[in-house]
Structure 1
């Protein structure tokens, strides 16, 4: 099994979402010996914003790209290659100001490329990243699950579905800033859900 592990917390390995993602990662590797893992730690290795210069580099004829443009294209290509390689994607996903971390959004921008990860057809857009499983460890300071305020998970699911990824499992740990007792219970419940997962 090829596993892509993404920690998007600004607190790096100290984030609760990072810790829960590592708990899930440990379970997956124990159940699937010989699995290969690629890690992305956005708190330690920030993702640049997808800007106009990056888009221009991608559109530039490969033979006429500058050295800087070649570096930008190589980085962008690698992000897509990692997703294409993965069978399972594990995402530690904290909520910041009702949305996803900005570096995760930037990473999404890098992996959405027409003709590569999706394409437009006469019947509309078609995702090209098929047969992948995504586990999301969603952590929040408050309690937002299944409320109109939670625009985060619907956005992430919409984006992944657009790329062809429809097998998505979400484990929540909410109320982390609402007192130590609730925080302890929320983390314990998330860890229990992780252990109860039957398969990748």
Structure 2
């Protein structure tokens, strides 16, 4: 049995293309892997605070010196990090907002990229500690950006995943969602076809 962690980040609940891809992923994964545990964390429904002084204090101060707010921030970070550590498969659903990822997803990443927990510093540089995990990134984009200089999603997320040791990353892009004509249908169908081979 494997643990699958799904991170939703679309601000929209209805008519969200990235959520449609997530629904397809969950449905087909459960069909092939019925015993697997799937955990969904919805960052739109339950937003995570952005990195602040309380979280930094929770990480860096000895327990006896932490304020109540710092201890609470640390506990939240621990909960999120523990979910990631327990996952064998990570799925990030990420609509493109202003050429990048939603700020809610960035806040989640800021909580789980932790020195000594998900990566460590060595004499030869940083080393990821989450080797062996598989990640899927399901994106939805208003235009067509794959492979262009305007795509700041995929390069950033690949770097972040590699930094913590996750090198097996598959991107599935639903592009052209806001373009006229047949672009939306074509882009969504292409993404669904790619996704159908995942499980």
Q: TM-score, normalised by structure 1?
A: 0.94
TM-score (norm 2): 0.95
The CA RMSD measured in Å over matched residues stands at 1.3
> For the residues of structure 2 that align with 1:137 and 1:152, how far apart are their CA atoms?
11
**Structure 2 counterpart of 1:156:** 157
Q: 1:56-67 to 2 correspondence within 5 Å?
A: 56-67=57-68
Distance 2:155 2:27 in 1: 27
Contact 1:129–1:163, Cα closer than 8 Å, also in 2: yes
121-130 or 12-21, larger mean C-alpha shift: 12-21
Residue equivalent to 1:42: 43
Q: 1:14 and 1:34 mapped to 2: Cα distance?
A: 30
Which runs of no fewer than 5 residues in structure 1 stay unpaired? none
User: Partners of 2:54 and 2:75 in 1: how far apart?
Assistant: 14
Counterpart of 1:182 in structure 2 is: 183
- Where do residues 55-134 of structure 1 align in structure 2 (5 Å cutoff)? 55-134=56-135
Partner in structure 2 of residue 2 of structure 1: 3
1:14 CA displacement: 3.8
Q: Distance in 1 between matches of 2:125 and 2:58?
A: 27
Counterparts of 2:181 and 2:6, CA distance in 1: 28
Alpha-carbon distance in 1 for matches of 2:45, 2:119: 29
The 1:13/1:126 distance shift into structure 2, 3 A limit, reads farther
Cα separation, 1, equivalents of 2:142 and 2:15: 15
How many pairs does the alignment contain?
A: 198
- SS of the residue 1:12 aligns to: coil
